[in-house]
Every structure is written in structure tokens, then in C-alpha cells.
Amino acid sequence: MIDPIEKHLISNELTLKRYRRFKRNRAAVISVYVLLFMILVSFTAELWFNSKPHVMKYHGEMYFPLVKDYHPSLFGRTDIQVMDYRSLEMGPNDWVVWPLVQWDAYESNSFVESYPAPPTKYNLMGTDDRGRDVFTRLVYGFRYTFVYAVGVWFLCYLIGCGIGAMMGYMGGKVDLIGMRAIEVFESLPALLILLTIISIFKPSLFLLIVFSVLFYWTGITHYMRGQFLSLRKREYVEAAKAIGSTHKRIVFKHILPNALTPILTLSPFEIASNISLLSVMDYLGLGLPAPTPSWGELLGQGQNYFTTADWLVWYPTGALVLTMGLLISINLAVRDAFDAKSAVG
């Protein structure tokens, strides 16, 4: 069976060899599919985890609560402001299509006597200390975790690669001054300063990404600087200079494509590190604002209720371990695929 990616998207022979080598690692391929499935489910969580039906027929009328809000008075309820569709008494000709899990990430289960409640057939992973479904909050929380991790990775690499490439290509005083500035910057206690700044400002996903990028962009700078310092003296670069190629063409056409290896091989590991960083901040109460679903916030609850509600520890920990394991498996396969000896063999 012909792989459509090989047939339509990859024309470069070296890239094709790397892709085929990556495919040989079954664990990595499975990890990619599992991770994509998690991303798909989380970013469409409202379709699968919600307290509102997809569609329902009630007293001869069709309603679509998932995409439209209806006032409770339409269903004969004047004692509440927000409709509880579970309380509707369905007639013989009425029907309803529910999501897979009938809880959203912010709704408390009022049918249990005390919180946190242990796992049941209604709450498969139990509830947190406010009665909210743990399974649902884990699924919703993954989207915020993933957006943060990828956002910080992308911006850090964009800034770090740009500065590292400039320092490595220009060399001389630019490289000397740049390295001294980075060394001073890296000597600062980044995590402590980051937590202090976040505690001053009202946290949000956007601010968390910005503040994190502010302190963690230097990591990739060293790799990119080293690549440019090495590659700028290669024969094909000297030849490009000899025929009068512009600096822009030399950088983007000849050096940068050959300097991308550290970016691609380190990316999954960096994303995993960012997931850990957000979980730590949420655990300390300095991350995403309440009541945003958060893995770290669930772990913080687990610390308070470990003897009576250990599911608040094990399920978020399991989600973190699973995600980290998937990313590390992908990272190892990418590293092997880009290995100079195996990629060309």
C-alpha cells in the first residue's frame, strides 16, 4: 500500500529516507496516532463531554441545545435560570441524543452526598473537591496544556533561532556581545522570577505563554548558533558567496535547511518540558485561572485529599505520564531518523 504522504507531500530524497526510517519505529508511529487522537478529542470535547444534548425532540418541537441556548421557560421551568436538560420528563414521542459523557468541565454533580466523590458509573474517574467530573476536566484540560506547550515552543524557537542564526552567521563582535548577554540572562533564576511575575499579574493563558517565552528562549539559541558557525564555512556556502549570492539567499537557501536538525529533533522533548512547567505552575496555584480545567490543579487537590481521594492524584499523574511517554517516544524516533549515519543509509 502506497503511503499518501510519501507520494504527494515528500519530494526530497533525504527527507523521504528520514520519514521511512521514522515509520520503522512502530512505537513512535503508534504514539503519533494516540497523540493526534487525544488532540482531536480534546479540541472537540464539547461534542463528547457536555451536559447539553446534541439534539432533542420535545413536545413536537426540535431543539439543538449544544449550539443554541434556550430559556428554561420554553420547557415549562420558571424556577431556574439555566436549563437542566436531565430534569426534563420525556414523553412517549420525545427523544434526545446525548454526548458520550453527560458532564461538562464546570458542572458539579449534585446527586452525590459529598465531594470529592469516588469513581462510579456516572463519574468514571470520580469528582474533584467541587463535584466536577475528573475525566471531563482531564480531557478539557489537555487543550489548554497543549496550546501552552506548543505556543511556548514555537515562540521560543522562533526567537532563539533568529538570534542564534544572526550570532552564528555574523560572528565577531555580534557573536561576542550576544553570548555575553545570553550568559547574563541565563544566570537569572528563571523559574523563581517567572513565578513572581505571574503572582503579580492576573494569570491567563496568553500571559503565561508570553512570560514563559521571556525566560526560556535562550535554550535553542546555542544550538542554532553552533550550527551556523559550523555551516557558514562549508564549501557550498563559500561557493554561493563566490557567485555573488545575497546574505538572505545564503542564510535561507543554503544554511538554514541544513541547520534545522536540532530544531526538529529537540521539539517533542521541549513540548514535553513545557507541559511539565505548566503543571508545576498550576499545582502551585500560579497557572491558569480558576475554574479553567487543569491537570496541575487536580494534582494540587490530590495533595489535600490523598488519603481519602487518591484518584485525584493517580488519574492526572497517569495523563501526564502518558503524554510525556508519547512525546519522548516520538522524540527518540525523530532523533534516530535524523541521525547522519542512518538517514542516508
Q: Which of 36, 71, 98 represents a domain boundary (last residue)?
A: 98
At 309, is the secondary structure helix, strand, or coil?
A: coil
Of 98, 127, 156, which closes a domain? 98
Residue 268, in any domain of the structure: yes
- Greatest Cα pair distance in the chain: 85
**Domain ends where: 42, 75, 98?**
98
On whether residue 66 sits in a domain, the answer given is yes
Does residue 19 lie in a domain region? no
- Both 202 and 330 in one domain: the answer is yes
SS3 call for 207: helix
Q: Is 221 left (phi over 0), alpha (psi -120 to 50) or beta?
A: alpha
Of 218, 207, 133, 154, residue with least CA distance to 181: 218
What is the pLDDT, as a whole number, of residue 143?
A: 95
DSSP for 59-97? TTEEE-TTTS---GGGGT--S-SS--GGG----TT-EEE
Length of the chain equals 345
Q: Which residues pair with 49 in a beta bridge?
A: 101
- Judgement on whether residues 148 and 78 belong to the same structural domain of the protein: no
Residue 105 lies in a domain: no
Would you state the pLDDT for residue 328?
92
Distance CA 54, CA 64 (A): 6
Residues 75 and 171 in one domain: no
Could you tell me if residue 126 is inside a domain?
no
Full DSSP string of 109-164:
-TTSSSSSPPP-SSSTT-B-TTSBBHHHHHHHHHHHHHHHHHHHHHHHHHHHHHHH
335 lies in the same domain as 254:
yes
> What CATH code is carried by the domain that includes residue 164?
1.10.3720.10
Cβ proximity of 129 and 115 under 8 Å: yes
- Asked whether residue 90 falls in the same domain as residue 140, the answer is no
* Residue 323 forms part of a structural domain: yes
Looking at the structure, do residues 85 and 145 belong to the same domain, yes or no? no
Return per-residue pLDDT of the chain as tens, 345 residues.
Answer: 567 676 666 666 777 888 888 889 999 999 999 999 999 999 999 999 999 999 999 888 899 999 898 888 888 888 888 888 888 888 888 999 999 999 999 988 888 888 899 999 889 999 998 999 999 999 999 999 999 999 999 999 999 999 999 999 888 899 899 999 888 888 888 778 877 887 788 778 998 999 889 888 888 898 899 888 888 888 888 888 888 888 888 888 888 888 887 778 888 889 999 999 999 889 988 888 888 999 999 999 998 888 888 999 999 999 999 999 999 999 999 888 887 555 444
Residue 178 lies in a domain: yes
Query: Both 93 and 169 in a single domain?
Result: no
Q: Are residues 171 and 66 in the same domain?
A: no
Do residue 172 and residue 82 come from a single domain? Answer: no
Task: State residue 11's pLDDT score.
Answer: 65
**Total number of domains in the chain:** 2
From residue 158, give the alpha-carbon distance in Å to each of 43, 80, 118: 25, 50, 45
What residue numbers bound the domain in which 222 lies? 135-343
Q: What share of the chain is helix, strand, coil (3-state, %, to 5)?
A: 65, 5, 30
Residues 180 and 264 in one domain: yes
Do 255 and 146 share a structural domain?
Answer: yes
Per-residue cell: 90: 420525556
- Are 174 and 166 a contacting pair, CB within 8 Å? yes
Sheet holding 61-63, edge to edge: 61-63, 55-58, 95-97
Is residue 284 located within the same domain as residue 193?
A: yes
* CA-to-CA dists, residue 99 to 44, 53, 68, 147, angstroms: 12, 6, 15, 24
Say what the pLDDT of residue 299 is.
92
Residue 339 lies in a domain: yes
